[in-house]
Structure 1
Amino acid sequence: MTTAIKHAERAHALLSASASSRWLNCTPSVRLEEQFPESTSTYAEEGTLAHEIAELKLRKYYTEPMSQRTFNTRLNKMKKHELYQEEMLKHTDTYLEYLQGLTIGMKSTPYVAVEKRIDYSAYAPEGFGTVDCLIISSDTLYVTDFKYGKGVSVSAENNPQMKLYALGALIEYSFLYPIKSIKLAIIQPRLNSISEFDLTADELLAWGEEIKPTAQQAFEGTGEFVPGEHCKFCRAKAQCRARADQYSALGDFKQMKPPLLSNDEVGHILEKAQHIESWVKALKDYALTESLKGSEIAGWKAVAGRGSRSFTNLDTAFAHLKENGIDEALLYDRVPLTVSQIEKVLKTEQFRSLLEEPGYVQKSAGKPTLAPIGDKRKQIFNAPDASEDFANG
C-alpha cells in the first residue's frame, strides 16, 4: 500500500515548476528570494487540503483499490481539518470526472500516475516537482493539474509549469512508450474553468532546449531583474529595487507636452502603473512587519487599528434583551442565500436541473472594465461612456 506524503511537507526545488514563470522572466529573483522566509496563507492551506482529498479519490479509482470503509476512514480524517469545507468534495469530484472522461474512452487500459514526482533537471539544474496526475495512452501523454484557487483563471496554453512537468515525464517514459503528442490541462472547478493545450513531443523538446540557458542563469542568480506580473508571488517583491525603479519611471511623463495626454500616452502610463496598487500593499505589509519588530521605517510607525465589537456571550445577551421586552424578530435578519451560496449547498446536477435549466437563473452582462491588450476576453465597443458614472455619482 502506498503511503502518501502530505503535500505541505514535500521538498521543493530551487527552480520549481510552479515558480517557473518568475525565474524564466527574471533570472536573479530565485537567489534573491533565498534570504526571505517562506510563508503560507489560509488560501494555500485550503488548496493543500483539497489536493489531498483529490489525491485520495484518484488513488482509489486508478492506482490503489481500497474498500469503501478504508476510503471513508481516510476521508473522515481529512474532514476534521479546520479548513475543511463540504464544497471540496464537489470540486474534487469535478477533477476526477474530467479524468474519467479522458480514460473511459481510451482503447486500451492507460498508464496512470497520481502525485508523481517528476525530474526535469536535464533542462533546469536540480529541477523536480510533483504532477497531480499524468496519463499515457498509445502515443499521447496527458499532464493534468488541479488548481483549487478561484482568484485568477490559469491558462494551460504554453504554461511553463505544465511544460516542465511534461518534459520530465517525457524523459522518464519515452523509453517505454512511443510518445508523440502532449496534452496539457488545468482544471479549476471553483471557476468552472478547464484549460487545455496540445503540442507535439518535438515542440516540447525544442522548448526545453530553448530555456536551458535561462534556467542556468536562474540557478546561478545571474542576469537582469525584470519586473512584471510574475512578481506577484515573489518573496522579495516589497524590497525589490528593480520593481521600485519601474514606478519611478512614471516621473518621465512630467516632461510631456502638450498639457493634455494623448491616448497613446495614457496607454503607456497605464502599462507602467497597473501593478502599483499591489506593490504599495506589499510595501505596507513589509513596513508593518518591520515596525512591529522594532525596526525604524522613516516617517511611519505601527499603531493599533480600529477594534471591532462582539458579544461576550451571544445567547446570554439576546436572552437579556428579550427579558427586557425586546421583540426577538428585531434581533434577526432573514436573508435569502445568493445564487453562488445555493450552488454550494446543492450538488452540481441539482443546481442545473432545478434552477438553471428551468430558467430561474440568469447571468447579466458584466460592467465594462479595462484590460491589457493581451487579455483573452473579446474586445467590446459601444459601451456606456465612463463619464456617465462620474456624472451620476
Structure 2
Amino acid sequence: MAKHAILSASGASRWLACPPSARLEEQFENTSSEFAREGTLAHELGELGLKINLELISTRKYNSEVKKIQANELYTADMPDYVDIYVDTCMEKVAEAKAKTPDALFKIEQRLDFSEWVPEGFGTGDFVIIADGTMEICDLKYGKGVPVSAIGNKQMRLYALGAIAEFSFLYDIEKVKMTIIQPRLDSISTDEMSVAELIGWAEEVLRPTAELAFKGEGEFCAGDHCGFCRAKAVCKARAEKNLELVKYEFSDPNVLDNAEISDILGKADELAKWAKDVQEYALEQALQGEEYPGWKVVEGRSNRKWADEDKVGEILLGQGFLESIIYTKKLDGITKIESAIGKKEVTRLLGDYIIKPSGKPTLAPESDKREVYNSPEADFK
C-alpha cells in the first residue's frame, strides 16, 4: 500500500490554514472516491502520452498500456481528448525549453521531497521542466467540480520546493513557474516567482506552520479549506462558525433589511454544505450502529418500477398497444455522447448543432467574474 504523507501537498491549503486538522483527520478513514480513481486513470494516460512524445517508451509498449487503461470501467471515449490538452500543453513547453536550452531536463511523475520544510513531506510532480535558469512544474487536474488556480497555490509551491531540493545542486535555478492544466474546465493558469521569494515563504510561513501541524498544535480555523477535510462533519470549529448565523442579531424584529439579507447570503451556501455534511455523516454512522438521541433510521420514499421491463413490453405489444405509445425514444445529452464517442468527434460531426442557452439567473458575490444578468423584460424597458 502506498504511503501517504501526514502533511500532504494536496492538503496544504487546509493544514496551512488550520494546522491541527492534519492530526484530527487521522481519526477518520481515508477513502478514495470514484472521481479520485478517474483522476488517477487520466494521470496514467497523461504519463503515457508524455513518454511516447519524449520517446521514452516504444509504440508497442504505449499501445499495450493504453489498452489496459481503455479496459478500465472508468475510461470514457472523451478522456484522451482532455488528456491530450495536458500533453500538448506540456510538449509546447518542452519545445520552448529546448529552444533555449538544448540539454533541458524533463521529469515525468517525479517524486518530490520537501521534508526540509515540512516534516516527512513528499509528493509527486506530474511534469517537471528545468531550462535556462527556470524550473516549471506542470500539474494535471482532471476534475471538473471545483476550479483550481495556480495563483498562490500551496500544493504547487510545495512541489516546487521539492524540485529545488532535488535539482538545485545540479542546476542554477533562479525562477519558478507553476502551471495547472484543468482541461475539462478549459482552464490553464500559471503562477511565477523567484526562488528567493519561494524560499522566503517556506522559511517564514511554511516551516513554522508545518511544525505546528505535524504536532497537532495551533488553532482550528474553519473556512473554504474545510471542503475536503475528513473531519468536516464533526469539527467543532466549523460547527461554531456556521452556528453563528443562528445567533444572528437583527435590527428589526419583523423583517430583514437589504444589508442583513446580503450578510446572510454570504453565509448560506457554507451553512447548507455544513448541514448536509453532518446529515450524511450521521446516516453513515447510524447504519453502522451509532445512536443519536431523538433520531432513527427509516426507509426513505421510493417510486414504483417494473420488475421486468421486457416482459411488460411483451404483454402490452401483445395486447395491440403501439410501440410509439409504450416506449420513449430520446437523444442522449452532449456530455453523455462526448463520453461515448469522444469530444473531438462530437465537435467534428455535430459542432454546428451545439448551442449554449442563457443560464438561469442566480445570485453571486460582486467579485464573481460573470456579467450582471439582464432579463429579457429589462431589455424592452
Do structure 1's residue 335 and structure 2's residue 327 form an aligned pair? no
Measure the CA separation in 2 of the matches of 1:32 and 1:121: 21
Measure the CA separation in 2 of the matches of 1:186 and 1:53: 17
Measure the CA separation in 2 of the matches of 1:252 and 1:237: 21
Higher relative contact order, structure no. (Cα contacts within 8 Å, ≥ 6 residues apart):
2
Do structure 1's residue 96 and structure 2's residue 87 form an aligned pair? yes
Measure the CA separation in 1 of the matches of 2:249 and 2:121: 46
The unaligned stretches of length 5 or more in structure 2 are: none
What residue identity is the alignment partner of 2:44? Answer: E
Measure the CA separation in 2 of the matches of 1:345 and 1:80: 14
Label 1:109 to 1:360 Cα distance change in 2 as closer, same or farther (>3 A). farther
1:131-160: per-residue Cα shift (whole Å, max 9, x none)?
A: 111111221111111111111111110100
Match of 2:289 among 281, 290, 294: 294
Do structure 1's residue 45 and structure 2's residue 40 form an aligned pair? no
- The residue correspondences of 1:150-299 to structure 2 (distance < 5 A) are 150-209=144-203, 210-254=205-249, 256-257=251-252, 259-299=254-294
What residue identity is the alignment partner of 2:25? Answer: E
Measure the CA separation in 2 of the matches of 1:350 and 1:96: 19
The unaligned stretches of length 5 or more in structure 1 are: 1-8, 389-393
Label 1:269 to 1:119 Cα distance change in 2 as closer, same or farther (>3 A). same
Q: Which moved more, 1:318-327 or 1:220-229?
A: 318-327
1:85 corresponds to: 76
Q: Which moved more, 1:254-263 or 1:162-171?
A: 254-263
1:61 corresponds to: 53
Q: Does the CA contact (< 8 Å) of 2:76 and 2:339 recur in 1?
A: no
Measure the CA separation in 2 of the matches of 1:156 and 1:372: 22
1:38-79: per-residue Cα shift (whole Å, max 9, x none)?
A: 11222122112222222222222236221x222222111222
CA drift of 1:109 comes to 4.5
1:134 corresponds to: 128
TM-score normalised per structure 2: 0.89
TM-score normalised per structure 1: 0.87
SS across alignment from 2:79: helix
Q: Does the CA contact (< 8 Å) of 1:120 and 1:167 recur in 2?
A: yes
Measure the CA separation in 2 of the matches of 1:77 and 1:318: 38
Q: Does the CA contact (< 8 Å) of 1:63 and 1:112 recur in 2?
A: no
1:226-249: per-residue Cα shift (whole Å, max 9, x none)?
A: 111111111111111111111222
Label 1:130 to 1:15 Cα distance change in 2 as closer, same or farther (>3 A). same
2:13 corresponds to: 21
What residue identity is the alignment partner of 2:63? Answer: N
SS across alignment from 1:320: helix
1:250-287: per-residue Cα shift (whole Å, max 9, x none)?
A: 24423534754444433333334331111111111111
Q: Does the CA contact (< 8 Å) of 1:288 and 1:301 recur in 2?
A: no
Label 1:330 to 1:290 Cα distance change in 2 as closer, same or farther (>3 A). same
What residue identity is the alignment partner of 1:369? Answer: T
What residue identity is the alignment partner of 1:169? Answer: A
Q: Does the CA contact (< 8 Å) of 1:63 and 1:113 recur in 2?
A: no
